[in-house]
Each structure stands twice: as C-alpha cells, then as structure tokens.
Homo-oligomer: A and B are copies of this chain.
Amino acid sequence: MNRVYNFSAGPSMLPLPVLEKAASELVCYGESGMSVMEMSHRSPDYEAIINDAEAMLRKLMNIPDNYKVLFLQGGASTQFAAVPQNLINRTGKADYAVSGQFSGKAFKEAQKLGYDVKCIATTKDDNFDHVPKITKDMVRPDAAYLHICYNNTIYGTKYPEVPEIGDIPLVADLSSCIISEPVDVSKFGVIYAGAQKNMAPAGLTLVIVREDLLNYAEEKMPTMLEWKTMAENGSMYNTPPCYTIYMAKLVYEWILEMGGLEVMKEKNVKKAALLYDYLDSQDYYVAPVKKCSRSMMNVTFVTGDADLDKKFASEASKAGLKNLKGHRSVGGMRASIYNAMPYEGVEALVAFMKDFAKNNPKA
C-alpha cells in the first residue's frame, strides 16, 4: 500500500521512520518482553521513556530550567479552562487576544467560568485574515496574563513575532506550530499545545509553565487541571497517556537526529515558500491571509468558486493528496504542512494545483 500525502490539520502526518520504528517494537519493546502500551507507568522501563521524552524536548526547545514540562491529557480545549483556573488569582483579571476560532473559545471558556476577562484585540471584523498587532499598552497592567493563540490553524495565520508585553505573563496556545521552528521560551509564561499536529497522535497535551506561575491555582478546581499538582508528580499524579508520550519521544528523537529546530525550520520555510510563491505568482487561486500574518504550517487558499473548491478537494483526494478541504467554518482549501510533510508532498500539491487550474478554466 502506498502512503498518501495527508494535509490534515490534525491529527496529521507523522514521520514515516517514526511510524516504522513504533510498528517494529509495538509487540515487544527492547528487552522488556512487553509493549510500551502494557508497561506500568511506574516501571523503570517506562520512566526512562518519559524522562527521555522530557529531556529531548528540553534540548529541542532550549527550555530554561525554571520552566516545568507537563505531559497531560484533554487537549488544548481543557487548557482553555485550566489557564484561568491556574492563573487568575495572580491579580483577579485576565486579557485575551482573539485571532480565530480557538482563541475565541479560550476567551469564552474563561467568561463561562465567571472570570473578569477582557478581549483586548481581535481581527474578527476582517474575518481573521491577519493577527492583531499587540503592544504592551493594550494590555491591562494588572492583568494576570495575556492569552494568545500563536498560530491559527483554521485561518492559516500566525503572529510574526512574540508580542512584547513586559512583565505580564504571556500564555500561548502553540498547538499548530510547536517544534516547527525555534521559539524563545523565556518570552512566555505558559506555552501549551495539543500534540496531534506536530508531535504525536491525539491524546497528549503539552504544558510548559514558568515555575513562579504554579502558585495561583483556584482552590475549588479539578485537581487534574492543576499544573502544580502535575508538576509535583512529574506528570504522574495519575496514569499519563504513556504510549502517546512514547510516540512524542520518537518524534523528538527524529528531529534531534536531523539537527534540531533550526534545521526543521529551514525545511518548513522551504516547503511554505514553495506553496506561497506559487500562490503569489498566479491569479487562479487566492490566498486570503495577509502576507504579514501568514502561517508556515497551515496554508489557506480559495478559487473564489465554492463548486470549484469542492471539485479541487475531491480530485486532489483521488490523486493521493488528502484532506485539503478547508475547515467547515471557513470553506476553501487548507494545506497543513507540518514537520512530517515531506517537501515532495508540497511539490505534488503545487503540480496538482497547476493541472487543476489548467483543466478547470473559470468562466
């Protein structure tokens, strides 16, 4: 069976060598006589795996020592509640920038929980075709934190740089861009990310939190959502999603072996440039996102004709280019080209786009 090019926004492609390694040791891991899926999370074999995963991620992202790394469950959506519940008591209020659907959900979740939260910037009126410009003076000086979504999967936008907001902790959802390029972790108070785009199968949520931010949790909140409890128990307050963490470890290892995040970024820049350069060179397809906010991971485009868009996704799928249909709330097309998407996949997509444009002239 030939493998396809899978442009899904998440869950999404995993590196083939990672899948092959996982398959080869699925039934018996090393000398353990059992699958990683069967290991007690308290066993030396498994402890080596989770410790390696953390050490590799720390190396990959150059995570400072005063940050805790947590391997959790529940997805970024669970963090939409955990963020205010863990941090609001710093000052009693918090600010949000809304640059798309998920940052909007994060804001609404904090409102639902009854907190004093303010949306300080949004690009909703522009249909989220760019991210807001955020400056320090926009954030309330007594905000417990500012929450942003760094890369917006659905719209295909990303902040061109980390907003500078002084001493106010920046809390950022990096689900769709984590480990795609180096980031300066020290500029964030908290980074969180669902793993199912760039790191592992679905079912793992990464939280990277500065230690001084572990002390503001609500008393009446679910223990399982308390970062401090998880930090104090090495992500093992209860049984962690062991196998998914093992898969993440294999992915980290794959990137480290190729040279780390600088090399990863180079590859991602090259892939994205191939697609954006083509989009900019013609007028059959339109890329709706403003150039200043373009995502390197999720590239959106439309033909301007909903029927043609539909035909495009359908024919691309038949050609082995899967999941190019845009998010149901937006329409059009979206190519998610995460770390595991090879350059050849983007080449195949651009070739298909050219053919499709030629074979389907607009009226």
Contact = CB atoms under 8 A, between A and B. Distances in A.
A244 B203 contact: yes
Contacts of A194: 238-239
Contacts of A221: 113
A12 B27 contact: no
A268 interface: no
Contacts of A16: 27
Interface stretch (A73-81, A136-144, A288-296): A73-81
A357 interface: no
A279 to B, nearest CB: 23
Given A3-B34, A223-B81, A323 B43 contact: yes
A9 interface: yes
Contacts of A78: 73-74, 222, 224, 238
A33 B223 contact: no
A302 interface: no
Given A39-B8, A113-B220, A75 B34 contact: no
A224 B81 contact: yes
A203 to B, nearest CB: 3
Given A73-B74, A73-B203, A202-B240, A11 B38 contact: yes
Interface in A31-56: 31-35, 37-41, 43
A24 B39 CA distance: 20
A6 to B, nearest CB: 5
Chain A contact residues, majority secondary structure: loop
A82 interface: yes
Contacts of A8: 38-40, 43
A33 B2 contact: yes
A4 B34 CA distance: 7
A201 interface: yes
A339 to B, nearest CB: 13
A41 B78 CA distance: 18
Interface residues of A, number: 71
A150 interface: no
A8 B241 CA distance: 16
A1 to B, nearest CB: 4
A112 B41 contact: no
Given A41-B11, A81-B222, A34 B22 contact: no
Given A222-B222, A239-B202, A34 B20 contact: no
Contacts of A122: none
Interface string A169-213: 000000000000000000000000010100001111000000000
Contacts of A201: 37-38, 241-243
Contact of A112 (B3, B43, B220, B239): B220
Contact of A13 (B4, B34, B113, B219): B34
A320 B27 CA distance: 16
Nearest to A204: B203
A256 interface: no
B22 A109 contact: no
A23 interface: yes
A13 B39 CA distance: 8
Contacts of A32: 4
A90 interface: no
10 contacts: A3-B34, A4-B32, A10-B40, A11-B41, A20-B27, A23-B26, A33-B322, A38-B201, A75-B239, A112-B220
